[in-house]
């Protein structure tokens, strides 16, 4: 897809994707990447299909070879205020705006963004577009690193294992311990688990 965009006259084609949209905990991350046609990277694909070790290997290569790359995030409190769809779009918009040099076109996984930059929504873009796949890898690696750090702060939730997603052990921990301030209260399992805990008093704050 980058090739078609370049053939249409766009020189710096960015891919953008997010990570953590379905998680119950923490920020949603997004990345934007402009790949160099002269420095191809083998093995780029949807980050969810790669092992953690392979993602980290590829992330290092992407950072080294890309024309430009950026990672952004939107915190859980803002996700609760503007909803996860809008927060994911905001994170991708911020990542695209941070690219230097700036892109002249963008391929965006699954969303149309409120930006002046010409861009195309690509369904299943991380499987169809190298730049989007690269962005998905950077966003996933950065988010996993963030969640591992939060796991040290909140060790009772098993965050390092499930990265904040709604696994049975995470849901059980929510019932037993209640949500943390970094959980997404607008998500139903967190909302339901808040009852009787301190965070009920700050709901909507």
- Pick from 132, 151, 170: which residue ends a domain? 151
For residues 164 and 147, the answer to whether their CB atoms sit within 8 Å is: yes
For residues 84 and 25, the answer to whether their CB atoms sit within 8 Å is: no
Query: In which domain, by residue range, is 164 found?
Result: 154-202
pLDDT at 9 over 60: yes
Predicted local confidence at residue 1, as pLDDT: 84
pLDDT band per the 50, 70, 90 thresholds, residue 198: low
Predicted local confidence at residue 202, as pLDDT: 45
What letters, b where the CB count within 10 A reaches 16 and e where it falls short, cover 75-97? ebebbbeeebeebbbbbbbbbbe
Please indicate, yes or no, whether residues 141 and 78 belong to a single structural domain of this protein. yes
Residue whose pair of structure tokens reads 């070790």 in the numeric block: 53
Please indicate, yes or no, whether residues 158 and 146 belong to a single structural domain of this protein. no
Please indicate, yes or no, whether residues 71 and 164 belong to a single structural domain of this protein. no
pLDDT at 65 over 70: yes
Sequential DSSP letters for 130-173:
HHHHHHHHHHHHHHHHHHHHHHHHSGGG-HHHHTT---HHHHHH
Predicted local confidence at residue 196, as pLDDT: 60
Predicted local confidence at residue 197, as pLDDT: 63
Please indicate, yes or no, whether residues 147 and 169 belong to a single structural domain of this protein. no
68 CB contacts (<8 Å, ≥6 apart)?
12, 14, 32, 33, 34, 99, 100, 101, 103
pLDDT band per the 50, 70, 90 thresholds, residue 3: confident
pLDDT at 133 over 70: yes
pLDDT at 205 over 80: no
Please indicate, yes or no, whether residues 178 and 86 belong to a single structural domain of this protein. no
Please indicate, yes or no, whether residues 49 and 135 belong to a single structural domain of this protein. yes
Predicted local confidence at residue 187, as pLDDT: 97
Please indicate, yes or no, whether residues 158 and 142 belong to a single structural domain of this protein. no
User: pLDDT tens, 91-132?
Assistant: 999 999 999 999 999 999 999 999 999 999 999 998 899 999
Q: In CATH, what number is assigned to the domain containing residue 88? A: 3.30.420.10
Please indicate, yes or no, whether residues 122 and 172 belong to a single structural domain of this protein. no
User: pLDDT tens, 138-167?
Assistant: 999 999 999 999 999 999 999 999 999 999
Q: How many domains does the chain have?
A: 2
% of the chain residues with pLDDT over 70: 95
Please indicate, yes or no, whether residues 29 and 120 belong to a single structural domain of this protein. yes
In angstroms, rounded to a whole number, what is the distance separating the alpha carbons of residues 156 and 28?
21
Predicted local confidence at residue 204, as pLDDT: 41
Please indicate, yes or no, whether residues 145 and 158 belong to a single structural domain of this protein. no
Predicted local confidence at residue 201, as pLDDT: 40
- Pick from 112, 136, 151: which residue ends a domain? 151
Beta bridge partners of 14: 34, 106
User: pLDDT tens, 13-53?
Assistant: 999 999 999 999 999 999 999 999 999 999 998 888 899 99
Closest C-alpha to 74, from 161, 182, 178, 170: 182
Q: In whole numbers, what is the pLDDT of the chain averaged over residues?
A: 93
Neighbours of 148 (CB within 10 A): 12
For residues 117 and 24, the answer to whether their CB atoms sit within 8 Å is: no
For residues 56 and 137, the answer to whether their CB atoms sit within 8 Å is: no
What is the value of pTM for the model shown? Answer: 0.92
Tokens for 54? 């392979």
Please indicate, yes or no, whether residues 164 and 143 belong to a single structural domain of this protein. no
% of the chain residues with pLDDT over 90: 86
Please indicate, yes or no, whether residues 147 and 158 belong to a single structural domain of this protein. no
Sign for the pseudo-dihedral over CA of 19, 145, 73, 131:
negative
């Amino acid at each position: 897809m980058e090739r078609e965009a370049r053939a249409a006259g766009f020189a710096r084609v960015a891919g953008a994707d997010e990570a953590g949209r379905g998680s119950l905990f923490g920020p949603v991350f997004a990345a934007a990447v402009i790949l160099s046609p002269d420095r191809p990277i083998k093995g780029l694909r949807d980050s969810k299909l790669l092992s953690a070790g392979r993602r980290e290997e590829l992330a290092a290569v992407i950072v080294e070879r890309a024309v430009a790359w950026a990672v952004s995030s939107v915190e859980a409190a803002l996700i609760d205020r503007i909803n996860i769809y809008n927060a994911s779009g905001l994170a991708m918009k911020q990542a695209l705006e941070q690219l230097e040099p700036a892109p002249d076109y963008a391929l965006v996984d699954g969303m149309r963004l409120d930006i002046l930059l010409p861009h195309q929504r690509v369904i299943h873009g991380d499987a169809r577009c190298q730049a989007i796949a690269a962005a998905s890898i950077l966003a996933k690696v950065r988010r996993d690193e963030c969640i591992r750090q939060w796991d040290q702060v909140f060790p009772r939730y098993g965050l390092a294992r499930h990265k904040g997603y709604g696994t049975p052990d995470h849901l059980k921990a929510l019932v037993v311990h209640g949500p943390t301030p970094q959980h997404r209260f607008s998500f139903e399992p967190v909302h339901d688990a808040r009852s009787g805990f301190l965070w009920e008093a700050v709901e909507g704050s």
